[in-house]
Amino acid sequence: MNEFDLIRRYFERQPPLLRPGEQGSLLPVTQTSHLEGQSLLQLGIGDDCALLRGPLEGAHLAVSSDMLVAGRHFFHDTDAAAIGHKALAVNLSDLAAMGAWPVGFTLALALPETDPHWLEGFSQGLLTLASRAACPLIGGDTTRGPLTLSITVLGQVPHSRALRRDGAQAGDDIWVSGELGAAALAVQLRRTQPAQTVPIEALQRLNWPLPRFDVGLALRGVASAAMDISDGLAGDLAHLLAASGRRQGHALGAVLDSRSLPLAACLRELPPDEALVLALHGGDDYELLFTASPELAATVAQRCPTAHRIGQVTSVSGMLLSDAKRRTRPLEPRGYDHFST
Amino acid sequence: MNEFDLIRRYFERQPPLLRPGEQGSLLPVTQTSHLEGQSLLQLGIGDDCALLRGPLEGAHLAVSSDMLVAGRHFFHDTDAAAIGHKALAVNLSDLAAMGAWPVGFTLALALPETDPHWLEGFSQGLLTLASRAACPLIGGDTTRGPLTLSITVLGQVPHSRALRRDGAQAGDDIWVSGELGAAALAVQLRRTQPAQTVPIEALQRLNWPLPRFDVGLALRGVASAAMDISDGLAGDLAHLLAASGRRQGHALGAVLDSRSLPLAACLRELPPDEALVLALHGGDDYELLFTASPELAATVAQRCPTAHRIGQVTSVSGMLLSDAKRRTRPLEPRGYDHFST
């Protein structure tokens, strides 16, 4: 059972919501319960964020939660400031991928001990990024336990302009917002060697990712679908195609051109095949993956100067990768899976 | 350093939020950034929930996060359905204590393994309560790690009617919404003996608490201050008095009458002093603690038939407890502290 099966199987089918006063309901019938009982939910489980009716007229509230566990999402010896930064950055990246503007966040934090030095660094990394994204810490919880962080971010987005992952059409161009594979290289090297011997660019991308609000906000009304790349391009693209295909009622696929994949500079000294694997299947890039109609290619290029067009959505199920000699081979949707064995 | 010092010291003083386009800002200047850059925050860290400008005209959005760690917030052998139920219940309790109506929740879940039997029970306990509170699961995250759950709930409340904890006035009556101490008895007994030997009422209160929406919604416009009792009456009352005192710029205190404390039935066979300690300093009650003007006593009693008036707010710092012989002694604000040693 992988992470996505688990969510589908145990958490997607929910029992019906009881009405106030109905047998078993915990909610009383009050003067206002008719109004307050209205569902605010516009989009539930499965995208970068859930969307609720938002505080501004015509806007949706975007909500997303991520959890980071020591030893899994970051190495135990990672700088506390980088942990604080990254925990918020990966959540803000979900807002950016939705085209949403940050509103605020909550932090739930389990700590094995209260080490003032660690907390000083952690809160400084966390709150500096919060300041840069104009996204205040609005609440949370602290407890003792194995080092685990869970952040929930709130944002807002005009309702017709949210960048959902299920809007890709056959014929759309596929784009990524910037270079891939550097963080994956850092993860690979750090498994066997100390941080000092890892290229600084790679470590920087792994530990200090920046949410691409510049791209997400510029793509409102332009991209047909978007999501952030957290588990690796191939796996995340498969999710985007599956969601879009489900919505349209027929399968979608993709052809990617390996020559147009923007490899991070630190990958260029590796054997080409190895670099390609890191860029396609490595995780932690936090660039945006998006699709747009080919007529909008010039608009995309103008609004997102760092974006690269890497392929096309097809109406045939499955993903293909073409190489320098224009031979194609199947591209496995293999990405990072937290429950793979 | 306790939990509250930790929050104050590292997370309450936040650097200023940068404006879009300002040096270091991650947000671009766009056509809409003036509008979207407006702060929606009405109340930040320190109450049961944060309050943001809400989706309904004149309403606030209430947001709260709690984290539960195996072995700390529940015994390792607790029934999976009870864990799912309680993780959501303690969060819903924060909404109820704010007088808020549930909107939806996110779940971040770290699991040591994917055990279908456990997940079946867990999701059933979780989603059944979600159904009863009309509060859908709207998103989240799953990962491998030591069993840890973090839930963020969203609710809404008319803005002039939120039950904040900082509104208590000297002379107000102090109330609790129901019986105290049963969950604390269960925790005490479970430390040394198996679940089967613990009174069923005590286990039920520990494992299957119900959020008091009936009380919280009925208290809108009636209570001057409210919060839920999660860490023990004495400690939580001290927080309510401190928050209210800070807001008014002078210290507040309380006198409690030990004879009016509503002890859970399962405590009545204990020596009176032992029962009193559990009711005053035990945690996990999830009843509401609130204050109201004495003129409203009849209204409170009518709207909340389970509520008990247990004392009065004073304008003198410190808490006192009077006994059956009307002798008073100081009441220590000792509650559950996750970082106490």
Sheet holding A101-111, edge to edge: A41-43, A50-53, A59-69, A148-158, A101-111, A137-144
Residue A340 with chain B: CB contacts under 8 Å: none
Residue A303 with chain B: CB contacts under 8 Å: none
Amino acid found at A96: A
Task: Kindly report the average pLDDT of chain B as a whole number.
Answer: 90
Q: What is the pLDDT of residues A7-64, one digit of tens each?
A: 777 777 777 888 888 888 888 887 666 667 777 878 777 788 888 887 777 788 999 9
Pair of tokens at residue A208: 């200090």
Q: How confident is the model at residue B5 (pLDDT cuts 50, 70, 90)?
A: confident
Most confident of A22-26, A281-285, B282-286, B301-305: B301-305
Q: What percent of chain B shows pLDDT beyond 90?
A: 64
Residue A132 with chain B: CB contacts under 8 Å: 18, 24-26
B114 touches chain A (CB under 8 A): yes
Pair of tokens at residue A204: 């920087």
ipTM: 0.90
Task: Pick the closest to residue B312 from B163, B175, B166, B167 (CA basis).
Answer: B175
Handedness of CA B179, B184, B187, B188 (dihedral sign): negative
Q: What is the pLDDT of residues A256-272, one digit of tens each?
A: 999 999 999 999 889 99
Put simply, the answer to whether A144 touches B7 (Cβ < 8 Å) is: no
Cα–Cα distance measured from residue B287 to residue B114, given in angstroms and rounded to the nearest whole number: 34
3 state DSSP class of B320: strand
Judge whether A261 and A322 are in contact, CB under 8 Å. no
Third-level CATH fold of A45-158? 60s Ribosomal Protein L30; Chain: A; (3.30.1330)
User: Which residue reads 């660690």 in tokens?
Assistant: A118
Least CB–CB distance from B139: residue in A44, A104, A143: A44
Put simply, the answer to whether A56 touches B35 (Cβ < 8 Å) is: yes
Task: Kindly report the average pLDDT of chain A as a whole number.
Answer: 90
Judge whether B286 and B228 are in contact, CB under 8 Å. yes
List alpha helices for A37-97, DSSP H. 80-97
Q: What is the pLDDT of residues B249-272, one digit of tens each?
A: 999 999 999 999 999 999 988 999
Q: How does DSSP classify residue B12?
A: I
Cα–Cα distance measured from residue B320 to residue B101, given in angstroms and rounded to the nearest whole number: 34
Cα–Cα distance measured from residue A66 to residue B127, given in angstroms and rounded to the nearest whole number: 20
Question: How many Cα atoms are found within 13 Å in the side-chain-facing hemisphere of B182?
Answer: 22
Handedness of CA B170, B164, B305, B282 (dihedral sign): negative
Judge whether A260 and A326 are in contact, CB under 8 Å. no
B194 touches chain A (CB under 8 A): no
**Chain A CA closest to residue B6:** A114
**Chain A CA closest to residue B209:** A26
Cα–Cα distance measured from residue A258 to residue A273, given in angstroms and rounded to the nearest whole number: 10
Q: What is the pLDDT of residues B45-87, one digit of tens each?
A: 778 888 888 777 778 899 999 999 988 888 878 899 999 999 9
Put simply, the answer to whether B44 touches A102 (Cβ < 8 Å) is: no
Third-level CATH fold of B164-330? Phosphoribosyl-aminoimidazole Synthetase; Chain A, domain 2 (3.90.650)
Sheet holding A225-228, edge to edge: A225-228, A288-292, A173-176, A308-314, A253-257, A318-322, A328-330
What pLDDT, on the 0 to 100 scale, is given for residue A72?
Answer: 83
Pair of tokens at residue A48: 């970068």
Third-level CATH fold of A173-330? Phosphoribosyl-aminoimidazole Synthetase; Chain A, domain 2 (3.90.650)
Output the CA angle B141-B147-B152, nearest 5 degrees.
Answer: 45
List alpha helices for chain A, DSSP H. 3-7, 33-36, 80-97, 116-132, 182-190, 200-207, 213-219, 233-248, 272-281, 297-303
Q: What percent of chain A shows pLDDT beyond 90?
A: 64
Least CB–CB distance from B217: residue in A28, A69, A106: A28
Cα–Cα distance measured from residue A253 to residue B185, given in angstroms and rounded to the nearest whole number: 59
Amino acid found at A188: Q
Judge whether B98 and B216 are in contact, CB under 8 Å. yes
Q: What average pLDDT score do residues A222-229 get?
A: 96
What pLDDT, on the 0 to 100 scale, is given for residue B300?
Answer: 97
Q: Where in chain A is the domain with CATH 3.30.1330.10?
A: 45-158
Backbone angles phi, psi at B69, to 5 degrees: -115, 135
Residue A138 with chain B: CB contacts under 8 Å: 41, 44-45, 50, 52, 63
Cα–Cα distance measured from residue B228 to residue B96, given in angstroms and rounded to the nearest whole number: 8
Least CB–CB distance from A52: residue in B1, B55, B158: B55
Q: What percent of chain A shows pLDDT beyond 70?
A: 96
Q: What average pLDDT score do residues B205-215 get?
A: 94
Amino acid found at B63: V
Q: Per residue in A292-316, is it b (16+ CB within 10 Å) or e — as a string? A: beeebeeebeebbeebbbbbbbbee
Backbone angles phi, psi at B213, to 5 degrees: -60, -35
3 state DSSP class of A197: helix
Judge whether B223 and B290 are in contact, CB under 8 Å. yes
Judge whether A2 and A339 are in contact, CB under 8 Å. yes
User: Which residue reads 């404006």 in tokens?
Assistant: B19
Quickly count: other Cβ atoms within 10 Å of residue B231's Cβ: 21
With a cut of 70, say whether residue A339 has pLDDT above it: no
Pair of tokens at residue B49: 């929930």
Q: Per residue in B187-219, is it b (16+ CB within 10 Å) or e — as a string? A: bbbbeeeebeebbebbbbbbbbbbbbbbbbbbb
Cα–Cα distance measured from residue B20 to residue A210, given in angstroms and rounded to the nearest whole number: 15
What pLDDT, on the 0 to 100 scale, is given for residue A330?
Answer: 94
Backbone angles phi, psi at A307, to 5 degrees: -80, 150
Q: Where in chain B is the domain with CATH 3.90.650.10?
A: 164-330
3 state DSSP class of A143: strand
Quickly count: other Cβ atoms within 10 Å of residue A32's Cβ: 15
Cα–Cα distance measured from residue B50 to residue A286, given in angstroms and rounded to the nearest whole number: 28
What pLDDT, on the 0 to 100 scale, is given for residue B75?
Answer: 80
The distance of Cα A227 from the centroid of its chain, to the nearest Å, equals: 6
Strand intervals (E) in chain B: 41-43, 50-53, 59-69, 101-111, 137-144, 148-158, 173-176, 225-228, 253-257, 288-292, 308-314, 318-322, 328-330
Third-level CATH fold of B42-160? 60s Ribosomal Protein L30; Chain: A; (3.30.1330)
Q: Where in chain B is the domain with CATH 3.30.1330.10?
A: 42-160
**Chain A CA closest to residue B155:** A36
Put simply, the answer to whether A32 touches B158 (Cβ < 8 Å) is: yes
